[in-house]
């Protein structure tokens, strides 16, 4: 187990290093840096001013030096300064994290609590009208863009209440806080719920074909016992993996949903930073996302070991 | 020849079909047999002959769709299993009729402890507390000669060897002292050295508990060692039935003769020692487009015109030795 | 035992239709949803091809006198803030969605297959490097990676196609690699080797055709997701640039602002995206059921 952990952690670091290199150089292959953008607005560019600013921002140095400077800072928790707001990048990012984390948590909760039961029902009732309906609903969940779902919610809200719900960063009551997050979380979670349902269904169907299910039936176990005591316990394992991966990939949905609902979270901030070519923010945010994704995968692997007695990671 | 008062199982004209996209597939076609208390009946045949489907039909575990039992009766201790509703059948399964499967590696639930899997079988049919069921489970593990049964009960299937798992399967199947045990190729997936041990164990326990046993195998050697009576199946039909002695002494069906000739050493007399192993030419015909006559005719050395046109009825050739062959009388002489 | 109608059961199992048109018809009946998906996709492709004939106005012509008109007989789906006909823009938008969908799936798929075959076939350090690179690409959410790519490359149709194709590569190469590894052990590959066939020839002649079914299934499944990603990118303003009528872009212009005043600008492009993706997903699902029996449920 220990050897496995060490190996796993080492691979994580290799992946994260790779990501940092990819992001860093990707953001610099295009001509035109932040200074060009800042000066473009002014119309006239004094080369001396430009050079000064470039020096101040450190972008006149060789790329490797810039990279080492950045990654060293990232590891120490020093995220540098935002070019745009001229505030420390960390100060910009930190307050946004809880907002996005709450949204993501709620969306995942939504996804698991709806997706898993419906997936089980769909598999158990395979081939029935109910199964068909659930499959169509889940497929449409995967087909509706979440930003459009968000826009539809806004449209409906205008039609019903005559106004757009405005994000309230300091909700007064617990209920208000819930309402603030629940609607956008549902818009994001709809897609993950659909995905969870599909995975649960196919995993259940796969398990229901196994020999040990036949053994359970041969014992005289009821359908309910077979489905829940025997099948679900085995079928849930791949679902855990998917929810874990989905936890990270939820970020895609959060980016558009935070934009639609005008929520000042991390995900929307990434888009704004990209538009501004605000390198420190973009590369640190993407690194942060990568750390979250890689850690989520790691946690899922560990959870797997807890749920599956066969896996002990001895090698 | 069988004492009817002691009858545990009576199968009459069992017919199980599969509806496939290439047509109707008669997996079990008009098969009848009986098993008495403590008796071992072997069902022999090549893979695909319908022997496993016969076993699943007795348990009413044929996957539907595509399979369906379409005719006949299966009478266990006086009640027709095919007439029961699903809830009624569940009370019988694992209780009065149990089954051991071919694959010990995949037939146990990987995320459930061995002990719990036996406990489940006990508690489904006996009104006992969880603690009592635990005790019974450990006793059963001891009965199937698993060392350290208390510790093993707490382990998961992957921690046990194939032979051990099959022992655990046997413990689970016998936990409620069934009247009938079906063993579908119980040793095929095991190491040769383990095979004999498992077989001996099944027979010992059968004797001890007085269980009727249906042993499904493709291995005539196993049949000779274990069974009292044998059914030979070919293409979904019973083509021969006899006591072990009668069958090995003088097989009446060319297919049975072919099976015997294709094994290296037959324990009983009947087939002269040969230099080279014989094999039956050809393969089992597609069950979807069976010829109107005998399904074995295309592979049979003795086949005559009549064989291809007309299916031979099962006829009694004396002492309950049944065979479905137009030329049964000549089989012994010709070969 | 209830009486069993053998003919009915056999028809249900498809025994009456094993070849030719009857088989196609049977499959269409069995997979009603898949047939619906295929129909949607055909309509979608035809719309893209014949957009010039179907659209009633030029999708790019600005007509500020008729801005933000409600849907009417003149403008079936209304007009946007520049007075452009929404219906015509949606019809022409099919071209962009189709170009991105097919373009990036084909590009990412082809590269993925080459990488997967090489990786699975050569093993060793090449495989190791490819695997690590896949890890890196897969550790970033699709949309995030595509966002950075378009940000780096600049917004244009070919760049969007490239940006969406690259995250697709590891997915395809993983499937190809796994199948290649499994197939390498197969007797027919051994046999080909023993008669002196070259490795590259074996890979192309024997291994690739045998991994085709899962790849087709995967490609169809990815088609919907590429269309969605393009829509998201364009919605965020980092995809297809103005004035081209990308469905996602149309929603971006209309976003929260027009939810109140011109809901038709929100509703119609969204329906177009959802319908196209839904069609691809329905068809992909049925295709998986038919081609990949292991997954059949």
pLDDT in tens, A77-106: 887 777 777 788 888 888 899 999 989 999
Q: Beta partners for B182? A: B99, B214
Per-residue model confidence as pLDDT tens digits over B44-54? 988 778 888 89
Instruction: Report, as an integer, the average pLDDT of C149-157.
Output: 84
> In total, how many domains does chain A have?
2
Beta-strand relationship, B229-234 and B237-243: antiparallel
Together in a domain, A74 and A103: no
Q: Tell me which chains share at least 3 CB pairs under 8 Å with chain B.
A: A, C
The β-bridge partners of A14 are none
In a domain? residue A303: yes
* C-alpha to C-alpha distance for C24 and C54, rounded to whole angstroms: 30
Establish if A91 belongs to a structural domain.
Answer: no
DSSP secondary structure string for all residues of A277-289: T-HHHHHHHHHHH
Residue of A219, A305, A307 best to disrupt the B interface, most CBs of B under 10 A: A219
pLDDT the model gives residue C40: 93
Q: Do A159 and A291 share a domain, yes or no?
A: yes
Does A17 reside within a domain? no
- Within a 13 Å sphere around the CA of B243, how many CA atoms are in the beta-carbon half? 9
pLDDT at A52: 75
Q: Are C289 and C282 in contact (CB under 8 A)?
A: no
Distance CA C278, CA C280 (A): 5
- Pairwise CB contact (< 8 Å): A136 & C136: no
pLDDT of residue C106: 94
Q: Are residues A178 and A68 in the same domain?
A: no
A59 and A192 part of one domain: no
For residue A3, being part of any structural domain is answered with: no
Helix, coil or strand: residue A201: helix
Residue B8 has phi, psi (to 5 degrees) of -100, -45
Q: Does A55 touch chain C (CB under 8 A)?
A: no
Looking at chain B, which residue has its C-alpha nearest residue A226? B109
* Structural domains of chain B, with CATH: 1-96+178-262 (3.40.50.300), 107-175 (no CATH)
Side-chain-side CA neighbours of C181 within 13 Å: the count stands at 11
Question: If pLDDT is split at 50, 70 and 90, which confidence band does C128 have?
Answer: confident
Residue-wise pLDDT for B156-207, tens only, equals 988 888 888 988 998 898 888 888 999 988 888 778 888 888 888 888 888 8
pTM: 0.82
Token reading at A164? 């757009």
Q: What is the pLDDT of residue A315?
A: 42
Domain presence at residue A117 = yes
pLDDT of residue B271: 47
Rounded to an integer, the average pLDDT of B91-101 is 89
Would you give the distance in Å from CA A240 to the centre of its chain? Answer: 15
Handedness of CA A183, A187, A191, A192 (dihedral sign): negative
Taking contacts as CB-CB distances below 8 angstroms, the residues of chain C near A139 are 33, 278, 281-282, 285
Four-residue CA torsion sign, C20, C25, C27, C28: positive
Alpha helices per DSSP H over chain A: 2-26, 34-42, 47-57, 63-76, 89-93, 97-124, 129-143, 146-161, 174-208, 211-219, 223-224, 233-260, 266-275, 279-307
Domain boundary among A22, A47, A78: A78
Q: Are residues A152 and A255 in the same domain?
A: yes
Contact B19, C10 (CB under 8 A): yes
Band of residue C296 on the pLDDT scale cut at 50, 70, 90 = very low
Q: Is there a contact between C278 and A282 if contact means CB atoms under 8 Å apart?
A: no
pLDDT band per the 50, 70, 90 thresholds, residue C15: low
**B176 with B125: CB under 8 angstroms?**
yes
What's the token pair of residue B323? Answer: 């065979």
Domain of residue A289, CATH code: 1.10.3720.10
pLDDT score for B2: 47
Indicate whether A175 and A305 sit together in one domain: yes
Domain containing residue A247: 96-312
- Which pLDDT tens digit goes with each residue over A100-146? 998 999 999 999 899 999 999 999 888 889 998 999 999 888 899 98
Mean pLDDT, to the nearest integer, of C232-240? 88
Closest CB to C224 among A26, A30, A143: A143
Cβ(A193)–Cβ(B92) below 8 Å = no
State which of A78, A113, A137 marks the end of a domain: A78
Buried b (16+ CB within 10 A) or exposed e, C122-156: eeeeebeebeebbbbbbbbbbbbbbbbbbbbbebe
**Nearest-neighbour CA in chain C from A194: distance (Å):** 13
- Claim to verify: residue A279 and residue A176 sit in the same structural domain: yes
Pairing type for strands B7-20 and B97-100 reads unpaired
> Distance from first CA to last CA of chain A, Å, rounded?
7
Residue A15 lies in a domain: no
What ipTM was estimated for this complex? 0.84
B106 touches chain A (CB under 8 A): yes
The mean predicted confidence, pLDDT, of chain B is 83
Mean pLDDT of B109-114: 88
Together in a domain, A181 and A243: yes
3-state secondary structure (DSSP) of residue B250: coil
Residues A134 and A280 in one domain: yes
Asked whether B169 and B204 are in contact (CB, 8 A), the reply is: no
Q: Does A295 touch chain B (CB under 8 A)?
A: no
pLDDT of residue A1: 66
What is the rounded average pLDDT of the residues C107-123?
88
According to the model, what pLDDT value does residue A121 have? 93
Last residue of a domain, one of A24, A44, A78: A78
Average pLDDT of the residues of chain A? 83
Contact C1 B65 (CB under 8 A): no
Q: Are residues A142 and A70 part of one domain?
A: no
Nearest to A18 by CA among A293, A304, A315, A296: A293
Mean pLDDT check: name the lowest of A159-168, A299-308, B310-319, C246-255: A159-168
Q: Which helix (H) or strand (E) holds C99?
A: helix C86-122
- Mean pLDDT computed over B95-111: 87
Task: Please report the DSSP string for A117-186 in residue order.
Answer: HHHHHHHHTTTSHHHHHHHHHHHHHHHS-HHHHHHHHHHHHHHHHSS-----SS-SSHHHHHHHHHHHHH
Other beta carbons within 10 angstroms of residue B202's beta carbon come to 26
Question: Helix axis angle, B192-209 relative to B162-174, nearest 10°?
Answer: 10
Pick from B141, B145, B209, B223: which is nearest to B180 by CA?
Answer: B209
Judged by a CB distance cut-off of 8 A, whether residue C3 touches chain B is no
Q: Are residues A149 and A298 in the same domain?
A: yes
Q: What is the pLDDT of residues A261-284, one digit of tens each?
A: 888 999 889 988 888 777 778 888
| Both structure tokens of A271 | 């888009």
Among C65, C48, C58, C64, smallest CA distance to C89 is for C58
- In sequence order, what are the residues at sequence separation of 6 or more whose Cβ sits closer than 8 angstroms to the Cβ of residue A7? none
Share of chain A above pLDDT 90, in %: 11
CB contact under 8 A, B21 and C14: yes
- Each residue's pLDDT tens digit, C238-279: 888 878 888 988 888 556 677 777 888 888 999 999 999 999
CB nearest to C13's CB, from B20, B69, B82: B20
pLDDT digit string, tens, across residues B258-275: 888 776 554 444 444 444
Task: Evaluate whether residue A124 is within a structural domain.
Answer: yes
**Chain A positions in Cβ-Cβ contact with residue C140 (cut-off 8 Å):** 19, 286, 289-290, 293
Q: Provide CB contacts within 8 A for A84, sequence distance 6+.
A: A34, A273, A276, A278, A281
* Cα torsion A183, A185, A188, A191: sign: negative
Does A293 fall in a domain?
Answer: yes
Residue B249 structure tokens: 């002494």
A166/A127: higher pLDDT: A127
Are B300 and B259 in contact by the 8 Å Cβ rule? The answer is: no
In terms of DSSP bridges, do strands B315-316 and B322-323 run parallel, antiparallel, or are they unpaired? antiparallel
* Cα–Cα distances in angstroms (integers) from residue C120 to residues A200, A203, C185, C218, in the given order: 30, 26, 12, 18
Q: How far is B23 from chain C (nearest CA, A)?
A: 5
A311 touches chain B (CB under 8 A): no
Is A63 found in the same domain as A166?
no
C-alpha A300/C-alpha A314 separation (Å) is 17
Residue C225 vs residues A140, B90, C165, C287: alpha-carbon distances, Å: 12, 46, 11, 16
Query: Average pLDDT, stretch B139-154?
Result: 89
How many C-beta atoms lie closer than 10 Å to residue B283's C-beta? Answer: 10
Question: Can you give the pLDDT at residue B267?
Answer: 47
């Amino acid at each position: 187990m220990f050897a496995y952990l060490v190996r796993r952690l080492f691979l994580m670091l290799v992946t994260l290093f790779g990501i940092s290199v990819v992001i860093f150089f990707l953001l610099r292959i295009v001509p035109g840096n932040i200074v060009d953008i800042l000066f473009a607005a002014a119309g006239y560019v004094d080369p001396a001013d430009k050079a000064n600013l470039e020096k101040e921002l450190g972008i006149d140095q060789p790329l490797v030096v810039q990279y080492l400077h950045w990654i060293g800072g990232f590891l120490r928790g020093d995220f540098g300064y935002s070019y745009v707001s001229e505030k420390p990048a960390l100060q910009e990012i930190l307050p946004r994290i809880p907002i996005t984390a709450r949204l993501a948590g709620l969306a995942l909760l939504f996804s698991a609590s709806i997706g898993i039961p419906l997936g089980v029902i769909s598999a158990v009732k395979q081939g029935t009208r109910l199964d068909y309906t659930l499959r169509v609903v889940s497929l449409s969940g995967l087909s509706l863009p979440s930003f459009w779902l968000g826009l539809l919610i806004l449209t409906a809200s205008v039609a019903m209440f005559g106004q757009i719900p405005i994000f309230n960063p300091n909700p007064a009551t617990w209920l208000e806080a819930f309402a603030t997050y629940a609607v956008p979380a549902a818009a994001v979670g709809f897609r993950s719920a659909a995905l969870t349902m599909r995975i649960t269904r196919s995993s259940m169907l796969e398990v229901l074909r196994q020999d040990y299910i036949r053994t359970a039936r041969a014992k005289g176990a009821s359908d309910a016992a077979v489905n829940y005591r025997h099948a679900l316990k085995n079928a849930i394992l791949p679902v855990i993996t998917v929810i874990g991966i989905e936890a990270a990939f939820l970020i895609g949905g959060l980016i558009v949903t935070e934009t639609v609902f005008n929520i000042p979270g991390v995900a929307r901030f990434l888009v704004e930073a990209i538009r501004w070519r605000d390198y420190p923010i973009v590369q640190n945010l993407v690194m942060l996302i990568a750390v979250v994704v890689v850690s989520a995968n790691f946690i899922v692997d560990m959870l797997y070991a807890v749920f599956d007695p066969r896996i002990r990671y001895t090698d | 020849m069988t004492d009817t008062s002691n009858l545990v199982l009576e199968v009459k004209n069992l017919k199980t079909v599969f509806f496939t996209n290439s047509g109707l597939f008669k997996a079990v076609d008009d098969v009848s047999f009986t098993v008495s208390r403590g008796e071992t009946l072997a069902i022999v045949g090549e893979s695909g002959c319908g022997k496993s489907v016969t076993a699943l039909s007795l348990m009413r575990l044929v996957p539907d769709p595509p399979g369906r039992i379409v005719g006949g009766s299966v009478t266990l201790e006086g009640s027709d299993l095919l007439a029961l509703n699903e809830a009624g059948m569940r009370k019988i399964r694992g209780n009065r009729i149990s089954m051991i499967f071919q694959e010990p590696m995949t037939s146990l639930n990987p995320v459930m402890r061995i002990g719990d899997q036996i406990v489940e079988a006990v508690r489904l049919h006996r009104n006992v507390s969880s603690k009592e069921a635990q005790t019974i489970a450990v006793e059963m593990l001891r009965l199937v000669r698993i060392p350290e049964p208390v510790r093993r009960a707490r382990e998961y299937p992957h921690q046990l060897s194939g032979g051990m798992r099959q022992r655990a399967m046997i413990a689970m199947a016998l936990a409620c002292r069934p009247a009938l045990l079906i063993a579908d190729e119980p040793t095929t997936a095991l190491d040769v050295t383990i095979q004999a041990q498992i077989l001996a164990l099944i027979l010992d326990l059968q004797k001890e508990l007085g269980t009727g046993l249906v042993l499904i195998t493709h291995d005539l050697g196993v049949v000779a060692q274990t069974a009292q009576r044998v059914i030979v199946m070919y293409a979904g039909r019973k083509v021969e039935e006899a006591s072990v002695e009668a069958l090995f002494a003088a097989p009446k069906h060319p297919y049975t003769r072919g099976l015997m000739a294709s094994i290296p050493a037959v324990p009983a007399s009947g087939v002269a020692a040969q230099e080279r192993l014989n094999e039956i030419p050809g393969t089992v015909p597609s069950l979807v487009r069976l010829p109107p006559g005998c399904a074995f005719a295309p592979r049979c050395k003795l086949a005559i015109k009549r064989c291809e046109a007309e299916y031979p009825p099962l006829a009694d050739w004396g002492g309950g030795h049944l065979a479905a062959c137009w030329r049964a009388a000549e089989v012994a002489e010709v070969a | 035992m209830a009486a069993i109608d053998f003919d009915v059961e056999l028809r249900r199992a498809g025994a009456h239709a094993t070849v030719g048109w009857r088989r196609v018809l049977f499959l269409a009946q069995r997979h009603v949803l898949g047939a619906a998906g295929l129909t949607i996709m055909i309509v979608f492709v035809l719309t893209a091809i014949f957009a010039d004939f179907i659209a009633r106005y030029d999708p790019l012509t600005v007509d500020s006198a008729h801005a933000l008109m409600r849907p009417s007989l003149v403008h079936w789906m209304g007009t946007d803030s520049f007075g452009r006909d929404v219906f015509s823009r949606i019809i022409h938008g099919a071209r962009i969605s189709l170009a991105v969908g097919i373009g990036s799936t084909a590009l990412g798929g082809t590269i993925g297959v080459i990488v997967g075959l090489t990786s699975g076939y050569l093993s060793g350090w090449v495989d190791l490097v490819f695997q690590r690179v896949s890890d890196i690409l897969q550790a970033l959410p699709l949309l995030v990676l595509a966002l950075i790519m378009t940000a780096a490359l600049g917004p244009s149709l070919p760049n969007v196609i490239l940006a969406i194709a690259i995250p697709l590569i590891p997915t395809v190469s993983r499937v190809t690699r796994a199948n290649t590894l499994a197939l390498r052990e197969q007797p027919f590959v051994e046999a080909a080797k023993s008669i002196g066939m070259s490795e590259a020839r074996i890979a192309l002649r024997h291994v690739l055709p045998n991994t085709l079914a899962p790849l087709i299934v995967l490609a169809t499944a990815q088609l919907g997701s590429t269309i969605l990603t393009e829509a998201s990118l364009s919605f965020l303003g980092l995809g297809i640039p103005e004035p081209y009528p990308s469905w996602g872009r149309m929603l971006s212009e209309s976003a929260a602002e027009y939810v109140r005043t011109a809901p038709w600008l929100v509703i119609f492009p969204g329906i177009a995206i959802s319908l196209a993706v839904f069609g691809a997903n329905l068809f992909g699902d049925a295709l998986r059921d038919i081609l990949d029996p292991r997954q059949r449920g």
